[in-house]
Chain A
């Protein structure tokens, strides 16, 4: 074992040479990572990312966007076709999953069905050659940590899915990895349990201070848990930012649409004056702060919750117009308005207290408007 880090370092130095110093510092670095599957499908394209130690990062994107492939490459279950992955300066390319200081919590937990909870959790320690007494003691501590002390002798099939997930988690924690990779960790849980596990997992991560890298297609989950969100589509990073960045300032059309509850207007600039451009969509038109020449193709977005809705016909301001209210969707703490501007859908979100007032206007026209400051330009 003692020779392994040295041989890894030399192997690393050789392959790190083209990327220069970027393989250096602490934390996880992905430098120019590509994954091209046999047959030419490009699953991951030019991913450059730095994840600091102790950070909770969520990879978010639709299925097939490359997020799971990226996670598998970090875990060693897949290898980049090009580019390097390094952790605390140590190149991980070519290192087997067994030797990587990162461990994965698999999508459907992947517990060993023939082993009980204690044996499942102790497995990683057993593989490291730790004696039975010591490994069972450590495993018991890890099981206690996730509150399954009484379940130590149960087989996985005798546990609920929430408990199975905790076993999967403690099986990984007990090996003290530098980073934990979670592939759709809540996919098998019902909604209430998901909501609770989000809080518990986040609390656990804060307590342990270990890097968590979590893959999901659920925007709400990503926003609620991440220090930083990495949005992927089509194999590429679309935007990397804090949850508030993502929610308030989507960078491009894909992110604005994918994060949901954003209205996107796409089309040419028809007017540009005093740092305000007007974008003409198919039917909608919006003004937004920016400086673009007339005629340039662009896009802008406005959050549904920034849209003001009035049931009284008002004089038109800069960004105002009449829209037909098709359906007022009650969400408990807010009301989502499904509007229609001459056939083009438009969303607005208002406070729950206005439900009765708004609902009375279903099938009728209402006035929608937003402040110039709330709109923003997007990359295409």
Chain B
């Protein structure tokens, strides 16, 4: 076939395309652009984390700590107490549950906004409505659960009036159920937003092409929309996982003294002037988070390869 032979000539072009790079800038200009960000990370991320890791090796004394005596005993002390190990597992478990619930709620919402709504104006308007909870303060959003979930709260009152229960349900507040509920409500937006933006970037003509080539609505979703939205899902998962793992305020307010997280334990060490143990607890938390994020990234890679 003549056409095919003529077309072969173009095969070498892609190499040239791949090798193409932007115009070369001088090193100083690049440094100028990268500098502020690097400085920010250094001062507000790398330095504090380094300090915490260092502090986790200091020795606890009766009055505070001795920064010149290095020891591993802080980690030993943490792991010797059953509480820390159990709470670490519970925190991971909760993070996983919250992550899954956020994903289950957020994906349909984001899909509806980005795919089902065709008018951009309506899309933006509805997205602002989705963001509405952010207009109230964090603490208010948590405390607002009290009058809903409390012993004399709306749910218990309503159920009792209806005669469905005779005594108030206790598991509604100051329980793990309440903590998960509040965390999902707080962080679901961190899942909706990246998925929404990722879905919105999907080229509609790719969707049309899939349909054109014989894909059913389910196949269009499974073969085109879902894989192309995975980067947004991944970012949302990282957001929610990291934020929930580090949570202590919500857990304390809504879980009362019944529920603990790594965050609340670290805080209690800190208030007991046991800075080295608090630092060790934080360091372990950071390490676990990094492992979790690495697992998420690995999972995403695998999915992409399918």
Contact = CB atoms under 8 A, between A and B. Distances in A.
Interface of A: 75-77, 96-99, 103-104, 106-108, 110-114, 123-124, 126-128, 144-148, 150-151, 154, 158-160, 162-163, 166, 171-172, 175, 193, 196, 199-200, 203-204, 207
Interface string B69-97: 00000000000000000000000000000
A114 B306 CA distance: 10
Given A77-B208, A172-B213, 9 more contacts: A104-B209, A106-B205, A112-B206, A145-B4, A158-B17, A160-B14, A166-B7, A196-B6, A200-B3
9 contacts: A97-B208, A99-B214, A111-B209, A113-B203, A144-B4, A146-B7, A147-B6, A163-B11, A200-B6
Contacts of B16: 160
Contacts of B2: 203
Contacts of A112: 206, 209-210, 223-224
B18 interface: yes
A175 B211 contact: no
B13 interface: yes
Contact of B214 (A77, A98, A160, A193): A98
Contacts of B214: 98-99, 124, 127-128, 175
Contacts of A77: 208, 211-212
A27 to B, nearest CB: 21
B304 interface: yes
A148 B11 contact: yes
Contacts of B224: 112
A145 B14 CA distance: 18
A196 to B, nearest CB: 7
B184 to A, nearest CB: 29
Contact of A204 (B3, B14, B18, B211): B3
Nearest to B204: A110
Given A114-B228, A203-B2, A123 B213 contact: yes
B213 to A, nearest CB: 4
B7 A200 contact: yes
The main secondary structure of chain A at its interface with chain B is helix
Contacts of A99: 214
Interface of B: 1-11, 13-14, 16-18, 203, 205-206, 208-216, 219, 223-224, 227-228, 304
A103 B4 contact: no
A75 B210 CA distance: 13
B176 to A, nearest CB: 38
Given A114-B227, A163-B13, A196-B6, A103 B206 contact: no
Contacts of B228: 113-114
A112 B209 CA distance: 9
B14 A98 contact: no
B227 A123 contact: no
A255 B13 CA distance: 39
Given A96-B211, A200-B3, A147 B10 contact: yes
Nearest to B227: A114
Max chain A Cβ within 10 angstroms of own Cβ: one of B6, B7, B203, B216: B7
Given A175-B214, A196-B6, A110 B1 contact: no
Nearest to B208: A77
B205 A107 contact: yes
Contacts of A144: 4
A147 B5 contact: yes
A106 B211 CA distance: 12
Contacts of B1: 145, 207
B11 A203 contact: no
Contact of A151 (B3, B9, B11): B11
A224 to B, nearest CB: 15
B212 A75 contact: yes
Contacts of B10: 147, 160, 162-163, 166, 193
A158 B15 CA distance: 9
Contacts of A126: 223
A113 B206 contact: yes
A128 B210 CA distance: 12
B203 to A, nearest CB: 6
A332 to B, nearest CB: 23
Contacts of A203: 2-3, 6
Nearest to B304: A114
A207 B216 CA distance: 31
Contacts of A154: 14
A166 B212 CA distance: 17
B14 A104 contact: no
A312 to B, nearest CB: 48
A203 B8 CA distance: 15
B212 A103 contact: yes
